[in-house]
């Protein structure tokens, strides 16, 4: 199976640098809608068999142009939502960003028992995303079509976390070294327990991913 893991388009909270993780979240900006429209030609060479989004409106708005182009009805799943910011929700200050990002780094380092203050643990965040991926796989397996390509529209922090901890060829500390832009895509292939990252935005990935790229901050939302 091929998964196209897509971060949503730009929102007003992204522009403000706010940790906006609760439902329903901010709408796309005008630029964000343009970014969503641009996904259609960008995916022209991709077979897309199904589309999944989170419960936050920005992922559904980002997926809408592709869904309309392919004649697909997106499946909405709460498990694809962003890593909850808890006590620092909607804050824009440096201390809040540090708390959020250091918690993500703790999870990437294997300490999944740590909780985001006022929110979920790493086990809970990964577990809910895993459950949706497992559902996607189970439905494909039941239909005898595990060669499907599925577009998953989600959020920056949870996509980076899941890819880094579930793709065998990504080092866990890759999360701290790689940004994921609005409508950036991580392409992975495989099956539950055996995922491989093929590309991260425009960069192909082979073997064990290197971690010598500039740090770009938490990019939550």
Catalytic-role residue among 8, 73, 139, 155: 8
Q: Quick check: is 155 catalytic?
A: no
The two tokens of residue 137 are 């796989």
CB 120 within 8 A of CB 84: yes
- Dihedral angle sign, alpha carbons of residues 112, 115, 121, 126: negative
CB 18 within 8 A of CB 91: yes
Q: How many residues are given for the chain?
A: 221
Q: Quick check: is 215 catalytic?
A: no
Catalytic-role residue among 30, 73, 82, 189: 82
Query: Measured between alpha carbons, how far is residue 139 from residues 5, 10, 45, 54 in Å?
Result: 18, 31, 24, 18
CB 182 within 8 A of CB 10: yes
Q: CA 209, 210, 214, 220: dihedral to nearest 10 degrees?
A: 30
| Bridge-based pairing state of the strands 194-200 and 203-204 | antiparallel
CB 128 within 8 A of CB 78: yes
Active site residues: 8, 82
């Amino acid at each position: 199976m091929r998964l196209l893991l897509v971060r949503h388009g730009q929102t007003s909270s992204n522009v403000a640098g706010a940790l906006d993780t609760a439902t329903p979240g901010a709408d796309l900006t005008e630029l964000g809608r343009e970014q969503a429209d641009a996904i259609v030609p960008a995916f022209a060479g991709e077979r897309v068999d199904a589309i999944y989004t989170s419960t936050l409106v920005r992922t559904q708005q980002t997926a809408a142009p592709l869904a309309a182009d392919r004649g697909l009805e997106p499946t909405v799943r709460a498990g694809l939502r962003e890593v909850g910011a808890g006590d620092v929700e909607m804050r824009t200050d440096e201390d809040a960003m540090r708390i959020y990002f250091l918690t993500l780094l703790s999870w990437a380092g294997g300490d999944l028992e740590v909780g985001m203050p006022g929110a979920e643990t790493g086990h809970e965040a990964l577990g809910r995303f895993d459950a949706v991926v497992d559902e996607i796989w189970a439905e494909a397996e039941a239909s005898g079509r595990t060669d499907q390509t599925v577009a998953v529209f989600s959020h920056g922090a949870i996509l980076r976390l899941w890819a880094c901890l579930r793709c065998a060829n990504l080092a866990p500390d890759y999360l701290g070294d790689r940004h994921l832009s609005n409508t950036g895509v991580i392409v992975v292939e495989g099956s539950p327990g055996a995922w491989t990252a093929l590309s991260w935005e425009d960069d192909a990935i082979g073997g064990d991913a290197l971690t010598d790229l500039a740090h770009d901050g938490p990019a939550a939302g």
